[in-house]
Amino acid sequence: MLTSGQVKDFARRCGADIVGIASMDRFEGAPKQMDPRYIFPDAKAMVVMGFRILRGALRGIEEGTFFVAYAGMGYAGINWVYQPVTLWNFCKLLEDDGYEAVPLPNNFPWTNTDSSGQNPERTGLMRESWSRPVDPDKPAPDVFIHLRIAAVAAGMGEIGYSKMFLSPEFGPRQRLAAVITDAPLEPDPLYEGPPLCDRCMGCATACTGQAISPDRTIKINVAGRDVEWGEIDYSLCSRYFCGASEEHNPFMVSPEDREGFAQSVGAAQQYKVSPTYFYGRALEGAAGCIRACMIHLEEQGKLKNAFKNPFRKRKPWRL
Ligand code: B12
Ligand code: SF4
C-alpha cells in the first residue's frame, strides 16, 4: 500500500516541483460543470502538482530582447510537453499498484464550461449547444477542473489578489496539473504557512491590460477556508497578455499589427508571431500577476526559491 509520502516523492522524481494531496470532499461547492468528482466518482484523492516557471524564462521579456523563452518553455512547453510527460510517468506508479490514475493536464479543448470571460454571468456554467449530458444527473462533457482551487485544496499555498495561485516555494511562478485516483491517500492539511499576498496591489498596478480590479473581489469557500481574489476582466487580460498593448509589444510595428494583436484571444495568439509547441503565446510576460508579484515576494524574503541577485535592476522598459 503506497503512502502519501511515497506518492509525493515519486511525483517530484517524475518532474513536479511541488506536490500536495486533496481529499475529494474538499470540492464540495464546486459548480457541477467543474466538479472533479463527476469525472471519477470512486476517487479518494487528488494529487496536485506545480511546475515551476523558470525565473530565467522571464528574463528576456524583462530586458525586452528575447520573448520566446517564456512563450515556449514558461507557457506552452509546460502545458503541452513537460506536464503531460510527468503525468504519464507518475500515473504508472499508481496503476502498477492497482489503483486507477486519471490525468488532468492543462488541456481543456473539449470543455463545456464557458471560461472565455466574454459572458461573466455564465462563469462555470454549461455552454449551450456544445455538448449534452449522457444522463440528466451528470454534467455535460467535458468537466473542467479549476486547477488553482485544486492547489488550495491540496494545501500547497493560497490564491493571491491577482487570482494567481501562490506557493511558498515560487510565489506565482508555477503552472499546475492534477491526477485523481481511487488510492486512499492521506490528504495534506490546508496551507497554514505565513500569508504570502499582503494585498500590496502591485499586480493590479503593473497589469498590462489593467485587467485586475483594484476594488471588486470574488469570494468563495474551499473546505471551510475563505478564499478571495480581485475580479479579473478576462476579455482585457486575454487580449493584453497576447500583445494588445503597443507599449509592451515590440512586434507591433505596423497599422495591420495594431489590429492583429488587438483581436480576441484565439486570433491574437496566432497573429504574426507563431505559436510555440503548437500553442499560443504570452507576449507581455505576465507583467503584473507574475513579475510584479514575484519581485515583491522576493524582496520580502518570502519565497524558498531564493536568488543571489534581484530580478529587476533597471526601470521596466515601455515603448
Ligand atoms: C481560461 C484560462 C485563462 C483565461 C481566463 C482566466 C479565467 N477564467 O480564470 C485567460 C486567457 C485570461 C488566462 C490568463 C492567464 N492564465 Co490562465 N487559465 C485558464 C484556465 C484554462 C481556466 C481558468 C478557469 O477555471 N476558468 C473558468 C472560470 C469559470 O473560473 P472561475 O470564474 O474562476 O470559477 C468560479 C466558479 O466556477 C467556482 N469554482 C470552480 N471550482 C470550484 C471549486 C470549489 C470547491 C468552489 C467552492 C468553487 C469553485 O469558483 C470560481 C469563483 O466564482 C486555467 C487552467 C485550469 N483549468 O484551471 C489556466 C490557469 C489559471 N492560467 C494560468 C496562467 C499562468 C495564466 C496567465 C499568467 C497567463 C500568462 N499571461 O502568462 C494569466 C493570468 C491571469 C490572472 N491574473 O489570472 C495558470 C495559473 C497558475 C497559477 N500559479 O495560478 C493556470 C492554472 C494554467 C495551469 N495549468 O497552470 N487564463
Ligand atoms: S497576464 Fe498580463 S494582462 Fe493578464 S492579469 Fe496578468 S499582467 Fe494583467
Buried b (16+ CB within 10 A) or exposed e, 213-233: eeeeeeeeebbeeebbbbebb
Q: Tell me: the pLDDT tens digits for 198-212?
A: 999 999 999 999 999
List the beta strands (DSSP E) in the chain. 18-23, 45-52, 101-104, 158-159, 165-166, 174-181, 212-222, 225-232
Helices (H) and strands (E) in the chain, counts: 11, 8
Please give the distance, rounded to the nearest whole angstrom, from the Cα atom of residue 4 to the centre of ligand 1.
Answer: 27
305 part of a folded domain? no
Q: What mean pLDDT do residues 111-133 have?
A: 77
Ligand 1 atom at minimum distance from 176 CA: 90
Shortest CA distance to 176 belongs to which of 150, 208, 209? 150
In a domain, 128, yes or no: yes
**Residue 312 forms part of a structural domain:** no
Question: What pLDDT is attached to residue 4?
Answer: 97
Q: For atom 81 of ligand 1, which residue has the closest CA? A: 175
pLDDT at 280: 78
Q: Model's pTM, two decimal places? A: 0.97
pLDDT tier at 118, thresholds 50, 70, 90: low
Among 41-55, 104-118, 248-262, 290-304, the minimum mean pLDDT is found in 104-118
Round to whole Å and give the CA distance between 77 and 83.
8
Give the mean model confidence (pLDDT) for residues 135-139. 95
Q: Is residue 167 part of a domain?
A: yes
Evaluate: CB of 93 within 6 angstroms of ligand 2. no
**N-term to C-term CA, the chain:** 58
pLDDT tens-digit map of 37-51:
999 999 999 999 999
For residues 9 and 169, what is the distance between their CA atoms, to the nearest angstrom? 16
Residue 304 inside a domain? The answer is no
Residue 268 belongs to domain spanning: 4-299
Preceding amide of 142 cis, omega within 30: yes
83 residue type, one letter: Q
Distance of alpha carbon 64 from alpha carbon 59, whole angstroms? 8
Tell which atom from ligand 1 comes closest to the C-alpha of 150. 43
Alpha-carbon span 171 to 230, nearest angstrom? 17
Closest ligand to 285 CA? Answer: 1
pLDDT surpassing 80 at residue 2: yes
Cell of 199: 494585498
Task: Give residue 3 CA to ligand 1 midpoint distance, Å.
Answer: 30
- The pocket around ligand 1, CB under 6 angstroms, is made up of 27, 29-31, 34, 75, 106, 108, 113, 115, 117, 123-124, 145-149, 162-165, 172, 174-177, 218, 220-222, 232, 234, 237-238, 241, 265, 282, 286, 289-290
- Given the DSSP bridges, would you call strands 45-52 and 101-104 parallel, antiparallel or unpaired? unpaired
Cell (9 digits) for 66 = 528575447
pLDDT above 80 for 119 = no
Which amino acid does the sequence have at 241? F
Number of domains the chain is built from: 1
Altogether, the residues listed in the chain come to a count of: 319
| pLDDT band, very low/low/confident/very high, at 168 (cuts 50, 70, 90) | very high
Q: How far is the CA of 269 from the centre of ligand 2 (A)?
A: 14
Say if residue 305's pLDDT is above 90. Answer: yes
| Angle at alpha carbon of residue 146, lines to 142 and 151, rounded to 5° | 140
309 within some domain: no
Copy the grid coordinates of residue 104: 488532468
- As a 3-state breakdown, the chain gives helix, strand, coil percent values, each rounded to 5, of 35, 15, 50
- pLDDT, average across residues 150-168: 98
User: Is residue 310 one of the residues assigned to a domain?
Assistant: no
**pLDDT mean across residues, the chain:** 94
139: helix, strand or coil: coil
Q: What percent of the chain has pLDDT over 70?
A: 97
Average pLDDT over residues 92-105: 97
For residues 140 and 149, give the distance between their C-alpha atoms in angstroms, rounded to a whole number.
Answer: 21
Question: Is residue 210 a part of any domain in this protein?
Answer: yes
